[in-house]
Amino acid sequence: MHGVPRFKLTLEYAGTRYSGWQIQKNARTVQGEIDRAARVVTGRNDFELYGSGRTDAGVHARGQVAHLDVSTSLPPDTLVRRLNDELPADIHILSATVVPHRFHARHDAVRRRYVYQVSRRRTAFAKPYVWWVKESLDLAQMRTTAAGFIGQHDFGAFAIEREGDDGSSVVRLERLDLIEDGALILVVVEGSHFLWRMVRRLVGVLVAVGRGDLDSRAATALLNARSELPAKLTAPASGLFLDRVFYKNEVADEHVRPVTPVGER
């Protein structure tokens, strides 16, 4: 689409009502809603909308990135405002900037950060955005286990293969932290890429360790193995957020805050 501006969009969304990011037939998706809004705002049908990655059904985002190639004379701020006017309230474009055509939302991403919110108390307000774990959790054991997952490993037991994957289940995990914030435990996961369901299964295994249902050494032994256990322990989608997508020369901030503060127990 030579001569057509490319916009880098940064957006947030609550994924509860959607069947994930990617457009699907007969299903409501985040990409589908933005596609529809772009058609209305620009009057164009010939454009490209490409996300940094696919989030699963029910998963949220605080910092999803997409690029939009569309022929329009609208400046970025006006485009953002008009797109938001057309979008449902649970999808919000935070910013748009014009970028060179060599920028690609997915291929140029060097690191991605997910945050999973585990609540240690029942909450009246944040239920769609947390996993409430009723049992007491041993945070020290969970942290010990988390340390064993950092580095390059075969996470095949923690993933589901899907169309478009390159067949490799080896992933380098750069960060796996557990941060206490009031009644929340924030599980922070960073890496260059992730396999489908990998983060939710990691969280489920860590919670099983925290409950005392799984030994720490048995948990890390799931690496390089083929086991059905991580699938059985998969954490619900409600607590998972795509927090940030990093690109070359961007500052990799370490600070992570809760999306929905829950307060003390």
* Catalytic residue numbers, as ranges: 56
CA 175 – CA 177 distance, rounded (Å):
6
CB neighbourhood size of 183 (10 A): 20
Residues 199, 117 contacting (CB under 8 angstroms): no
Q: Where are the alpha helices (H) located in the chain, listed in sequence order?
A: 30-42, 76-86, 139-149, 198-211, 216-220, 229-232
CA contacts within 13 A on the Cβ side of 36: 12
- Name which of 43, 18, 15 is nearest 28 in CA terms: 18
Residues 61, 15 contacting (CB under 8 angstroms): yes
CA 102 – CA 2 distance, rounded (Å):
11
CA 181 – CA 184 distance, rounded (Å):
5
CA 158 – CA 169 distance, rounded (Å):
9
